[in-house]
Amino acid sequence: MAAATTSSTSSALSLSGLASGFDWKTFVSNIIAADSSPINALQNTEAKNNSKLSAYTAFTTLMTSLQTSAKALTNSSLFSGTTAKSTNATSSWLSSSSSSTPPGSYTIAVTQLASNTQLAGTSDIGTGIASGTDVSGVTIGSMLTATAVTAGVFTVNGKQVTIATTDSLQDVFNNISTATSGAVTASYDPATDGIKLTSTTPGTPIVLGASNDSSNFLSVAKLNNNGTDTISSDSALGNVSQTAILTSAGLRTPITGTDGSGNGAFTINGVSISYNTGTDSISSIISKINGSTAGVTASYDTNNDRLILTNKTTGNTGLSVSDTSGNLLASLGVTGGTTTYGNNAKFTVNNGPTLTSTSNTITSASSGIAGLNVTVNSQTAETINVATDTTSMTSAVNDFISKYNQVISYIDTNTKVTAANGTVTTSLLSDDREFQSWGSTLRTKVFAAVNNSGSIDQLSDLGIDFTAGSDQLSLKDPTKLQAALQSNPSGVAAFFGNTTSGFASQISHYADTILGTGSGGSGLLKAQTTMLSNTNKSIDLQIARLQQQINAEQARLTSSFQAMESAESTIQGQAAALTKALASTSSSNSN
């Protein structure tokens, strides 16, 4: 019970003035608030320093951009660049030039375009759709033709013939005869691997197809109207299977000469490519060729059932093939194919002698014009004008003006002091005299002339000057700048880029002084930010010490007033007990 009373008393003592009637907690708070005013002042100073550090960070970004822009102007290649453009506004030729290309006009007349050397293999490398005239076992849906036959109807002599992919080729022949009441018969010739339609009435032309046909049988069979009483397939119908393994691809010439496991090899342009007849297909062989270093592209011509190899580069260059183990290339008709050699491009420049190029991109190696590249795609004549690239130069100059104005504007905004109606208003960095001096020095360097032996020694010679009433630069006379860039690009380059006295070089070097980019980061700006950072560290220590003292004083005052409350409570308890005792004694005496 005593413990509960003690706990209750301790809790009661934390209530300000419960016994004494004095609000000592408010009193203590007021004292602590008064003692904390130095901390508040230090925190305000630290906050202002942090704002300055943020301002210096933003300034670093702007100054770095200015330095980058200035360095771009010191690049001599900027002022020696050229552009190449056709005088034909609708030209599809592509042209480019370099700093070494002499300005001028070059009329290029192309009389022959470069082409690729191509080796076309022999046609009909497949076995055909049937080995004999009996086609009753040949199913329409599984015939190896260039295009799969679709089900539907097709028309012969105005009569519709229905076809299904499950029909045999003989079923189709029978259906043609039935639909035409025997007027047209069909047969298959294994020698030509083609279908022949015959009119049973000599001299009566066969008419094929109608606009509402839904099956493509006639086109797949390569049967076309010719106005006679017999129509045969234009060419062989059978094709090899590109996806089946080589031993099941339906090649007319069997593959022989491989080792006991079906391994073989061949070379194209001296590059060896191996294969296996039991795992490779025509499609995988094509992929191997295209993925090799042979420098050719292989493709399968379904219409003519043949393989075609094409050199990846143009020009009159060879294309060699040979079987080294096995006869795969022979079986594919490649070794017996026909090579058509590519052409070199032929052209003249300014009506000069005929020149040649293995590529349709005419370079300095073929034209003799340094740095000029023109990709042609037509046998025509076009004039290419090569001129000084004033666009890139002007863009670089305008970028510098913009970056300089941003830096100066930032310095002015953050150091401005104004007075109105007797009130002086300062800015964040108004008290930073060094920061202000950076702007002054930068203005002086921009305004001053450079020690240059050329005719250009200050910005005004390029039409650039300060805007009246401000520190902002502007391109006041664009024609003056264009004239200098066109007629004296080397002079402009010397003005900006001279490594010791050039205008842009001086600006870049001064930026190094501020940023410290050329001295291990120990520039003027680093000194400013280091000083502020160190000041803030010192402030943090002062705040910590003061806060420790204030916390101790608050604890001492709180403890003292709690003791006072305890004493007051004890006295009040004793007085109440004494009063009660006296009252009891007085009552007893009266009795």
566 domain residue, yes or no: no
Q: Which two tokens stand for residue 53?
A: 């550090």
What element of type H or E holds 391? helix 390-415
Do 376 and 481 lie in one domain? The reply is: no
Is 455 among the domain residues? Answer: yes
What CATH number is associated with residue 203? 3.30.70
Cβ atoms of 330 and 309 closer than 8 Å: no
User: Which range, of 191-205, 416-430, 563-577, averages the lowest pLDDT?
Assistant: 563-577
Q: Are residues 326 and 406 in the same domain?
A: no
Q: Does any domain span residue 328?
A: yes
What mean pLDDT is predicted for residues 321-342? 97
The residues, any chain, with a CB within 8 Å of residue 284's CB and separated by 6 or more, are 275
* SS3 label, residue 331: helix
399 and 494 together in one domain: yes
> Do residues 395 and 523 share a domain?
yes
pLDDT for 380 beyond 50:
yes
Residue 522 inside a domain? The answer is yes
Neighbours of 398 (CB within 10 A): 16
Using alpha carbons, select from 259, 239, 263 the residue that is nearest to residue 251.
239
Q: Are residues 398 and 520 in the same domain?
A: yes
How far apart CA 408 and CA 400 sit, in angstroms, is: 12
Question: Do 379 and 399 lie in a common domain?
Answer: no
Same domain, 382 and 397: no
Domain end (from 527, 561, 583): 527
For residue 10, is it within any domain? no
pLDDT tens for residues 46-68? 889 899 999 999 999 999 999 99
Residue-averaged pLDDT of the chain: 90
95 closest CA partner among 381, 382, 372 = 372
The answer to whether 184 and 177 are in contact (CB under 8 A) is yes
Domain final residue pick, 340, 374, 399: 340
3-state secondary structure 514-573: HHCCCCCCCCHHHHHHHHHHHHHHHHHHHHHHHHHHHHHHHHHHHHHHHHHHHHHHHHHH
How many structural domains are present in the chain? 4
Q: Looking at the structure, do residues 287 and 403 belong to the same domain, yes or no?
A: no
Torsion of CA 498, 503, 505, 508, to 10 degrees: -170
Which range is most confident: 14-18, 150-154, 517-521, 559-563?
Answer: 150-154
Residues 513 and 455 in one domain: yes
| Residues 176, 252 within the same domain | no
What does the pLDDT look like over 168-215, one tens digit per residue? 999 999 999 999 999 999 999 999 999 999 999 999 999 999 999 999
Q: Which domain holds residue 63?
A: 47-79+391-527
Whole-number Å distance between alpha carbons of 557 and 246: 102
Check whether residue 522 and residue 399 sit in a common domain.
yes
Q: What does the block give as tokens for 514?
A: 């501020």
Q: What is the mean pLDDT of residues 377-399?
A: 95
Measure the CA–CA gap between 501 and 509, rounded to whole angstroms.
10
Distance between terminal CA atoms of the chain? 36
Which band of pLDDT confidence, cut at 50, 70 and 90, is reported for residue 18?
A: low
DSSP 8-state class, residue 268? E
Q: Is residue 291 part of a domain?
A: yes
pLDDT greater than 70 at residue 591: no
Looking at the fold, whether 335 and 280 belong to one and the same domain comes out as yes
Please answer whether residues 177 and 169 qualify as being in contact, where contact means their C-beta atoms are separated by less than 8 angstroms.
Answer: no
